[in-house]
Amino acid sequence: MDLSSLTIAAARKALDAKDFSSLELTNAYVQNIAARDKEIHAYLEVWEDSARAEAKAADERIAKGDAKPLTGIPLAIKDNILIKGRVASSASKILENYRASYDATVITKLKEQGAVFLGRTNMDEFAMGSSTENSAFGPTRNPADTSRVPGGSSGGSAAAVSGSMALAALGSDTGGSIRQPASHCGIVGLKTTYGSVSRFGLMPMGSSLDQIGPLTRTVEDARILFDAIRGNDTYDSTSLPDYPLKEKGKVVGVPRAFMKEGVDDGVKSVFEKTLEALVKGGYEVRDVDMPNLPYALPVYYIICPAEVSTNLARYDGIRYGLSSPADTIHEVYTKTRGIGFGPEVRRRILIGTFVLSSGYADAYYRKARDVRNLIRADFERAFDSVDAIALPTAPGPAFKIGEKTNDPLAMYLEDIFSVTPNLAGVPAISVPAGSVERDDKELPVGFQLVGPMRGEGTLFTIAKDIEKSR
Ligand code: GLN
């Protein structure tokens, strides 16, 4: 069994043909995790016993001829997605021992299909970050070069897949946290249309931006996992009605004016080569004017912290996880939060509280909300004339561990191309497109495609063409 090239689609065929059992497949992953994860640290916890039991149950189901697309498929789950009875910590000290009391809707769906859960993966604390260095439990290393970050915040999920320690994984994406680590680890990552996948049981970061989505080795696998987890859910008030996947035409727009500065030369050349391959494949590539994109990053770093500051108010030392004893209730709150939250989380709560405070909300939060609407309108206008928009996923390849930890603005700039789809609610995919060489190592580089609302079908088609052209 060659785990380094195995896909969900291939494993499905092999399982159904009884070439190997889910138990054998699961054991292979558990062994690989034991061999590699001391160095990589993709997982915060591995559930080998329950994974084996789930695999055995899947094998029985396969024997009965009752297999679904994900029956017996070993997956890794980001640590901010609830699984009943399991610790879910969001890689935070404040939730280190918190156990989920119910299943997230995506987990219910995967359980119904008989998927195997290998463990929970490392992440930036509460999904705030772009490198997985903000985990309270130590960073994850990039399997392509272990002196570098895997990206973030779903860096554990991305490293688990690229390091052959899971067949696929779930992550969450608020401003790039699936796509950017997918790009840095050389795999596919999909940020789904806002409302297409239920957020019920996902720990909220920025509720108007968050989506759960797949990290996989191929575009086909991303589609399989997306199909398994999507669907209308009455437990999520922002859930969309179910929709069929449609493919549209072959016109790709490039907002050139937005890409003039700050992009690594190697990343630029991978981007241009990919556009050339698209043209050779019969696509039309056209410049699009999206004048408000330069405001996306500052708008994101107002709206996201604003929502973070409200969402994280629930961690008060009473309702969930850590509680630090003190003489007054107010002291319990402040002590628990002071001990439980790391520096980036505190920074965002401070920024968020400030931009929402009376006297400043008009100047910051409401202004940002208005500009967000302009960004949305930019996308709507662009999609009148093109079927998808192309951007780099991140401005550079994976950076060194520690390189940006003391410079929050440099870290935020990592998200310049990934935050806009979340602000607009539209879907976006990162697909491996090439690599750049650094210190004698080939570092993967992703290519990002953004689609209109409910436009995943188009993204899959174009991304597959990019996969084929390589
Ligand atoms: N890197 C971005 C941030 O720090 C995005 C995080 C995410 O998508 N969860 O906010």
| Distance in angstroms (rounded) separating the CA atoms of residues 64 and 202 | 33
Q: Is 54 in the pocket of ligand 1 (CB under 6 A)?
A: no
Q: How far is the CA of 304 from the centre of ligand 1 (A)?
A: 9
| Distance in angstroms (rounded) separating the CA atoms of residues 68 and 30 | 23
> 100-127: per-residue pLDDT in tens?
999 999 999 999 999 999 999 999 999 9
Q: Is 134 in the pocket of ligand 1 (CB under 6 A)?
A: no
| Distance in angstroms (rounded) separating the CA atoms of residues 271 and 433 | 8
Structure token digits, residue 127: 């999904």
Q: Which of 412, 377, 394 is nearest to 293 (CA)?
A: 377
Which pLDDT does position 220 carry in this prediction? Answer: 98
Q: Is 308 in the pocket of ligand 1 (CB under 6 A)?
A: no
Q: How far is the CA of 92 from the centre of ligand 1 (A)?
A: 15
Tell me what percent of the residues of the chain surpass a pLDDT of 90.
99
Which pLDDT does position 387 carry in this prediction? Answer: 98
| Residue type (1 letter), 184 | H
Domains defined along the chain, listed by start? 1-291+387-398+427-470 (3.90.1300.10)
Question: Stretch 33-56: mean pLDDT, rounded?
Answer: 98
Rg (C-alpha) for the chain, rounded Å, is 21
Whether the bond into 131 is cis, omega within 30 of 0? no
Q: How far is CA 94 from CA 45, 153, 318, in A?
A: 17, 18, 11
Sign of the CA dihedral with 181 first, then 185, 191, and 197 last: negative
Atom 10 in ligand 1: which residue has the minimum CA distance?
A: 128
Which pLDDT does position 247 carry in this prediction? Answer: 86
Instruction: Check pLDDT > 90 for residue 260.
Output: no
| Distance in angstroms (rounded) separating the CA atoms of residues 132 and 154 | 7
Question: Stretch 134-158: mean pLDDT, rounded?
Answer: 98
Which pLDDT does position 368 carry in this prediction? Answer: 98
Q: Is 466 in the pocket of ligand 1 (CB under 6 A)?
A: no
For residue 422, give the ligand 1 atom closest to its CA: 8
Q: Please, which pLDDT band fits residue 329 given cuts at 50, 70 and 90? A: very high
Query: Does residue 114 contact residue 147 with C-beta atoms inside 8 Å?
Result: no
| Distance in angstroms (rounded) separating the CA atoms of residues 33 and 396 | 28
Tell me what percent of the residues of the chain surpass a pLDDT of 70.
100
Q: Is 296 in the pocket of ligand 1 (CB under 6 A)?
A: no
Atom 5 in ligand 1: which residue has the minimum CA distance?
A: 175
Which pLDDT does position 249 carry in this prediction? Answer: 83
Q: Please, which pLDDT band fits residue 71 given cuts at 50, 70 and 90? A: very high
Question: Stretch 195-222: mean pLDDT, rounded?
Answer: 98
Structure token digits, residue 389: 């928009």
Q: What is the dihedral of CA 240, 242, 245, 249, to 10 degrees?
A: -50
Question: Stretch 368-387: mean pLDDT, rounded?
Answer: 98
Which pLDDT does position 341 carry in this prediction? Answer: 98
Q: How far is the CA of 15 from the centre of ligand 1 (A)?
A: 36
Place of tokens 């002071």: 338
Which residue intervals of 215-328 are DSSP H helices? 219-229, 265-280, 296-311
Q: How far is the CA of 283 from the centre of ligand 1 (A)?
A: 32
Max CA separation in the chain (angstroms): 70
Average pLDDT, the chain: 97
Structure token digits, residue 194: 């806002």
Which pLDDT does position 274 carry in this prediction? Answer: 98
Burial class of residue 318, CB neighbours in 10 A (0-12, 13-18, 19+): exposed
Which pLDDT does position 158 carry in this prediction? Answer: 99
Which pLDDT does position 1 carry in this prediction? Answer: 81
Instruction: Check pLDDT > 90 for residue 261.
Output: no
Q: Is 176 in the pocket of ligand 1 (CB under 6 A)?
A: yes
**What predicted TM-score, i.e. pTM, was given to this entire model?**
0.98
Catalytic site positions: 78, 153, 177
Q: How far is CA 81 from CA 76, 136, 169, 211, in A?
A: 11, 17, 12, 11
Instruction: Check pLDDT > 90 for residue 248.
Output: no
